[in-house]
Amino acid sequence: IDITTSKGRAKIKGNLIVDFGNPSLLFLLKQHKSMAKVIEKGKIELKDAYNKKGEVVAQGIYAIDVWMLGREYHDVSIGVTDKMRSIKQLGFLGTQFFTSPVVFDFDKGIMFIR
């Protein structure tokens, strides 16, 4: 994944879990080594989201551009969490990504995008 933000450009590598219950385009895990590295280097900046009581309830990234699996997206909000310590993948790919025909080969763990 290549992400362009107001802070710069970051390349983040890792496997994604396809989450058909997730309406968001992308949700990344803060503890993944690739994600932690770009945060530490200051290439992306996490923004806090607050509830009505003023408590931080989530964090995220506002991306000007996102390049992922050969496709480009503009003006993307990406959720970021550190609550899932047992998951080793980079994050979750939500249903908004699947705007074109996609074929899944579940036996081989492959996704084909047209």
Which residues are CB-neighbours of 63 under 8 A, at least 6 positions away? Answer: 3, 4, 5, 73, 75, 76, 77, 78
Q: Where are the beta strands (DSSP E) in 1-114?
A: 2-5, 8-11, 16-18, 26-29, 47-50, 56-68, 71-81, 91-93, 102-105, 110-113
DSSP bridge partners of 103: 112
CB 12 within 8 A of CB 3: yes
Q: What is the pLDDT of residues 69-80, one digit of tens each?
A: 888 999 999 999
pTM of the model: 0.80
What pLDDT is attached to residue 100? 75
Q: Indicate the pLDDT class of residue 106, thresholds 50, 70 and 90.
A: confident
| Distance from C-alpha of 23 to C-alpha of 46, rounded to nearest angstrom | 20
